[in-house]
Structure 1
Amino acid sequence: MKGKLTLCSLLLLSLFAMAQNGETLDTIYANDQKNVALFFPNPIRQGITGASHFVFNYNREKEQYFGLLQAKPGTESNLLTITNDGQVYSYILKYADRLPKLNYFIAKEESIGNEKTIITPISQNQSITENIGLDSKSSNYQKLCAQLLKNQRNYTQIKQNKGIKVSMTKSIYHDKEVYVVFEISNNSNIDFDINTLRMIKTNGIMKRRTSYQEFVLSPIFRYNVPKTVPKGSKIQFVYVYSKFTLGKHDNLILKLDELNGSRDVVFEMKN
């Protein structure tokens, strides 16, 4: 899966739509001569810029309250930041030779919302088939996903942690979408409650923080996704994504987070 991918991910687009009452986002100015410091009310968990000529650096190994922004000349872009309490902050970015401010102290009231509001609630012990804004195609998605679960395929990516095993098939391309079949096996003695399952595109090398960025790939359709995987059982389900490719320095990471637990599973996918 080599090629180009739009830097502004689907997550960026969906979160911009959540800006309260359509209010205009504040603008932060940066250049390549000085560091612009952004101080948040809670430690930063994730920071994403919409264009490569803006770079937002923050400590990915140990959560800290501030990040540093630099920019090269180019068109305006945007910054999306999520703190460890799930609060989402979004700003317009512009290059400027002269900077009006070098330090921004951001209040919690500037948040456009919490990331948990993006996840559709699921009733207890109920699996879901979720269509996100694509009603006209939902029937076709359901048929294709159901067929994929009927046909046994080899799982090429497998990772486990504390009795929780995540397996996935190779990406299956159809029309303008990518289908991925997942299987979660719970070999522990405790039920596993799913918080989120995210596929993340990374660009660059993490050790070189000035060039490393992460982009969440949001599914456009989810089929048979469980809320809970009971102990001693396994469940298969399907995620459908818009077609994407990976560039030379791009990789994919899969993250399964447990709700109110620490049995998370994280692994870098093989190309």
Structure 2
Amino acid sequence: MKTIINIAVAIIILIIQSNQGFAQDSRTRIKGMIEPYNVGISYDKTINLIFPYSIKSVDRGSADILVQKAAGIENVLQVKAAVEDFQPTNLTIITSEGALYSFSLRYQGNPAFLNLKIADLDIPSVPIVQFGHEMEYESQLKEISQRISSKQGFLNKIKDEGNDMAFSLEGIYIKDDQLYFQFSIENNSLIGYDIEQFRLFLRDSKKTKRSANQEVEIEPTYTAGNIQRIDGKSKQTVVAAVKKFTIPDKKHVTVEILEHNGGRRLELKIKNKTILKAKSI
């Protein structure tokens, strides 16, 4: 009888230990865990984290870390140490396509890398964050603009040239009440062209002597491509998305680029008949 009791107790103990082991195993094997990516930063050097989409949220684990978006740029985060030899901490970034990126930051006097292109690193980037309609809308605009950027243009008469620069309208596309204007900017000189302004506005076709020239700014909902600088001997495609419109009589759309501290100004004039040639995308 005593032997039977001992066997029963042993079985119960084994069952308990087995359940405990299973519970412990369940806790340690966490599906979907995002491992942080290790990055070394220093006090006197800036690290540039270049994301494939615009940055929507930044959280730093410590005040010993300084972060900021690059001026006028939505997808580049600049990071450096506020103090030397800080305690290791973390950095969390959420981008517009809904991806969460986790970084483990440590002090490194001479960082191995100063510029990290996140899309080319082994970092999980599956969209897991749910945004409102506005965020989803931006991601859609970006995806369509990128597709248009790679298309062959079908318009060839709307162009402005001068001072070894060429600016042309290559195509117009429409999808879901958005017009997409595909532009080409070409710099045939050795001198880089720094863009101070890239503007679209509605303008009167004729100005009478007694009235001022009326201009109405057209704000793009999204712009893809480099509208900061066109390097020497290079060509850039820019796609500007705007809410659909047609042009009233005696008016036209002007697209203008101005050079910073320079005299190379380029301008396109788009009439309503050209808008009506928009293709579906």
Higher RCO, 1 or 2 (CA under 8 Å, sep at least 6)? 1
Q: Which has the larger radius of gyration?
A: 2
TM-score by length of 2: 0.47
Higher-helix-fraction structure: 2
TM-score by length of 1: 0.49
